[in-house]
A and B are shown apart, each in its own frame.
Chain A
Amino acid sequence: MARKITIEPVTRIEGHGKVTIRLDDSGRVVQSRFHIVEFRGFERFVQGRPYWEMPVLVERLCGICPVSHHLAAAKAADVIVGVGPDGLTPTAEKMRRLMHYGQMFQSHALHFFHLASPDLLFGADADPAIRNVIGVALKHKDLAVQGVLMRKFGQEIILATAGKKIHGTGAIPGGINKNLSLEERDSFLKAPDPMNVDKMIGWAQGAVDFFKDFHQKNKDLIDGFAAFPSNHLSLVRKDGGLDFYHGVLRAVDADGKKILNDVDYRNYLDYVGEEVKSWSYMKFPYLRSLGKTDGWYRVGPLARLNTSDFIPTPLAQKEFEVYKAYTKGKPNNMTLHSHWARLIELLHSGEVIKELLLDPDLQGEALLKKGRKAHEGVGLVEAPRGTLFHHYRINGDDQVTMANLIVSTTNNNEPMNRAVHWVAKNILEKKPEITEGMLNRVEIAIRAYDPCLSCATHALGKMPLEVELYDSRGRLLDCKKK
């Protein structure tokens, strides 16, 4: 008897995912889909607004990684005021970088310690009562405390650069509205343990080591779970180094061949298309050169470490070499290795934050530049979850007439579907009953991509899910909720 399984989180408005898996009469998976509700209201909402509002407005419309939106919009606005994307003053560019790496640091710390580590520490079949951040806090107190404080550290950096921990105003078209005072700087450099940057780097290194150790003991899970070949896309620095704030667009295929060769992201429309599918609110981006079927790609930590040639800070570079050696220099296609990549990025962010703090440019007074006005601007950044595209057009009165955003989670739409499909094939197929452990594996697969969906930010075991079982004629056979 054919079955249809629906996994549906209850939250609706902020965006939520739903998974449906169809099985045929013999219990084999015939189709799996990850549905995402995403109201793209902002495209209308920003119509007529002055362009300088974009960095502050758009960060609110998608609230989970506001700094990324803030900066991507600011970069687009830089182009509009005629200074982008390479023309900012050193103080402005470095303040923005500091803001961005601060956000990377806090987001990656949050994701690993609060959202991902319970899966790893306790396993998908563990009692939900302990398999959550409270469980981590009880059993691995130091890890939980580090997670909280690292997140706080990143947020304090954001506060000092953007003016607020969430939804600040720091980046403005053509620059930044403040520099970093010496007191602010010293509060990060010289504060007593643990709230100083050296301790943070130390903890980040500890997190990488923790993961490597865990990997050694759980190779089957980490290497095998939801692994599948794919293309990978991200910004890289012009010299091929890892860079979250600025660079050129590069994509590689599953074997490491460059399929997008360091192109100017302002022409992204020439390279990236978006497909609409009737069953999902979220579009499916693809590389035009490869077409709709084969052009899908992954973004995020895993993709970034696949596209980049090196990491421009010493500790992270050392870890990068270990990481790369594991796949013999080839792209890494293992879903759960995103956690490893994310932690290397965490370490890198800590190192970059320190470099920036030591840079006297941050106390510079030249904050703003202005050039020849343009009526269109594109801005990209590497958000914690992957490449983020912002594109605006304005009229002669400075009002926005068109906005297009491709958010990281949209870029990862197909990969998340693939990951869910893998779980359906390998875990759910031919099983007489759906257990909580199986549902958790669906969740783990989605969560590895750190999607910015409200349901996904619930700790594991807390994600509201509903499972429905249908027979071939669409009759409901079973319904499971958690």
Chain B
Amino acid sequence: MDRGAGWFKLMGTPKSAGTKLLSVSGDCARPGVYEVAFGLKVQDLLKMAGGLDAQAVQVGGPSGTCISRGQFERKLCFEDLPTGGSVIVIGPQRDLFEAIHNFMDFFIEESCGWCVPCRAGNILLKKKLEKITSGKGTAKDLQEIESWGKTIKAMSRCGLGQTSPNPILTTLQNFREMYEAKVRNDKDFISEFDLAAAVKAASSLTGQKLTEAHHE
């Protein structure tokens, strides 16, 4: 403090002056709070925290950007990768989809439910993601998830909804291959309709078993 703003501004990048406190967590040897100059490369931060083998880094908390190994040269600053301070390291042993699911759960949990896109949209988005990760998705589902995410961002009332699709949208951008490996290219449509499940309530009401009466 006593060295003044001028000194502070010497550090960092033109638009992001000074230093930043970063909370590094996740799969690294030395998690904790680091004070670094703006403009630090993700790569260098990982080196400090002992997480160089990360498969992905989530910068800026759940609503931020998820970057892949190829992007570890990028810099932590407002011009490139803005962050409120959270950096989550996702190690190679992790299922990235699971991490994305968790982030979406976080948003669904945190949504106040006031406005439609955030309240209803995020739940639908997560279900779509589940469809894809369970291997029932098609190329069309990838297009849809992208467009639904954009709608939620544009139409939501507050910052939560406006950023909540980011875990999906940024991974879809930066880990496209991972999604593409999940979807089926041999089919345009896979039905999620389960006849037996759909008629279960009605059948149990009458005390009848569908298969029995049917094949007697």
Chain A residues proximal to chain B, CB less than 8 Å: 12-13, 18, 20, 35, 37, 39-41, 43-44, 279-281
Contact = CB atoms under 8 A, between A and B. Distances in A.
Contacts of B203: 39
B208 A281 contact: yes
Contacts of A40: 202, 205-206
A20 B216 CA distance: 9
B213 interface: yes
Nearest to A39: B202
A40 B203 CA distance: 8
Given A13-B199, A39-B202, A279-B216, 6 more contacts: A35-B213, A35-B216, A39-B199, A40-B202, A40-B206, A44-B201
A203 B216 CA distance: 46
Query: Lowest 10 A-B CB distances belong to which pairs?
Result: A41-B202, A39-B202, A44-B205, A40-B206, A279-B216, A281-B213, A281-B208, A39-B199, A281-B206, A40-B205
A13 B213 CA distance: 14
A314 B23 CA distance: 94
B213 A41 contact: no
Contacts of A12: 195
B3 interface: no
A279 B214 CA distance: 9
Contacts of B199: 13, 39
Contacts of B202: 39-41, 44
A380 B195 CA distance: 33
A279 B213 contact: yes
Interface of B: 195, 199, 201-203, 205-206, 208, 213-214, 216
B196 to A, nearest CB: 11
Contacts of A39: 199, 202-203, 206
13 contacts: A13-B199, A35-B216, A37-B213, A39-B202, A39-B203, A41-B201, A43-B205, A44-B201, A44-B202, A279-B213, A279-B216, A281-B208, A281-B213
A279 B208 CA distance: 9
Contacts of B205: 40-41, 43-44
B169 to A, nearest CB: 39
B213 A280 contact: yes
Contacts of B208: 281
B134 to A, nearest CB: 25
A420 to B, nearest CB: 16
A281 B213 CA distance: 7
A400 to B, nearest CB: 15
A306 B208 CA distance: 36
Contacts of A18: 214
Contacts of B201: 41, 44
A148 to B, nearest CB: 35
A13 B195 CA distance: 9
Contacts of B214: 18, 37
A43 B206 CA distance: 10
B200 to A, nearest CB: 11
A39 B213 CA distance: 12
A39 B206 CA distance: 8
A44 to B, nearest CB: 5
Contacts of A281: 206, 208, 213
A11 B199 CA distance: 14
A280 to B, nearest CB: 7
A189 B194 CA distance: 51
Contacts of A280: 213
Which of B195, B199, B202 counts the most A-chain CB atoms under 10 A from its CB? B202
Contacts of B216: 20, 35, 279
A40 B206 CA distance: 7
A280 B213 CA distance: 7
A37 B213 CA distance: 8
Nearest to B216: A279
A280 B207 CA distance: 11
Nearest to A43: B205
B18 to A, nearest CB: 62
A169 to B, nearest CB: 26
Nearest to B205: A44
Contacts of A35: 213, 216
A294 B40 CA distance: 92
B143 to A, nearest CB: 31
Contacts of B195: 12-13
Nearest to A40: B206
Contacts of A13: 195, 199
A37 B216 CA distance: 12
B207 to A, nearest CB: 8
A44 B201 CA distance: 9
A268 B155 CA distance: 57
B4 to A, nearest CB: 71
A57 to B, nearest CB: 16
A35 B195 CA distance: 20
A479 to B, nearest CB: 14
A280 B216 CA distance: 10
B161 to A, nearest CB: 33
Contacts of A279: 213, 216
A368 B206 CA distance: 37
A39 B205 CA distance: 9
Nearest to A18: B214
Nearest to A36: B213
A43 B203 CA distance: 12
A23 B70 CA distance: 74
Contacts of B213: 35, 37, 279-281
A174 B203 CA distance: 34
Contacts of A44: 201-202, 205
Nearest to A12: B195
A237 to B, nearest CB: 35
A184 B188 CA distance: 49
A43 B204 CA distance: 12
A35 B214 CA distance: 8
Nearest to A33: B216
